[in-house]
Amino acid sequence: MERLQKVMAEAGVASRRASEKLIAAGRVTVNGKTVTQQGVKVTKNDQVAVDGVPIKHEPLKYFLLNKPRGVISSAHDDKGRRTVVDILKEDGVEERIYPVGRLDYDTTGILLLTNDGDLANKLMHPKFEVEKTYIAKVRGVLTNREMKQLRQGVMVDGRKTKPAKTKLLEAADDWQSSRVRLTIHEGRYHQVKRMLKAVGHPVMKLHRETYDTLNLVGLPSGGQWRELRPQEVKKLKNLV
């Protein structure tokens, strides 16, 4: 027997956390009866449905997207805005996929999407410390002291961030802006933007360059995507 939210995640309905919300909202039934309590266990013989639609086990799929600016990192948006899932659906992807983590509306770059809820849940868990590298254009030019602060961790919402890897890439001729590379393994809300703001350099543009060993080689334009290769999926699973 497996927990209901795990079965839902593995069927590609949503991540475990999102599945728990569906259960709590009374949108899930088991053998025709609405379930709202967490921790319910089911077998393969039980009939599970979400909003009256029976779930089915789909083949596991893994995609890499170069997220464009102005797209929501979600499977659905209640305001009707275009989502990262819409991009793949428009190109014929039929599986019920969802993004692994989020990138802000105005942030571009590498984003994973999958219907493997178990792997997605683990990749998003802070204990596995998956490294992500960002390129940020910021106001002003970071000093050596400010770079050291980022490497040691800065206070955000009363909590110190984990140490980051940093490198100043270039400064504008007028010294009004600069580009910096920042590698972190946390996933707190607006983390990179808030870290850089904490040292006095608000972010003007933000792009995620890598996710662990994955990069955007071959996907130069926003909106382009590809399926992960078997060896890439294996590396991610070994990571967690």
Catalytic amino acids? 104
Nearest to 182 by CA among 150, 157, 160: 150
Q: Report the distance separating Cα 163 and Cα 153, nearest Å.
A: 5
Q: Report the distance separating Cα 143 and Cα 110, nearest Å.
A: 28
Q: Report the distance separating Cα 115 and Cα 132, nearest Å.
A: 21
| 211 beta partners | 132, 214
Torsion on CA atoms 16, 22, 27, 29, rounded to nearest 10 = 20
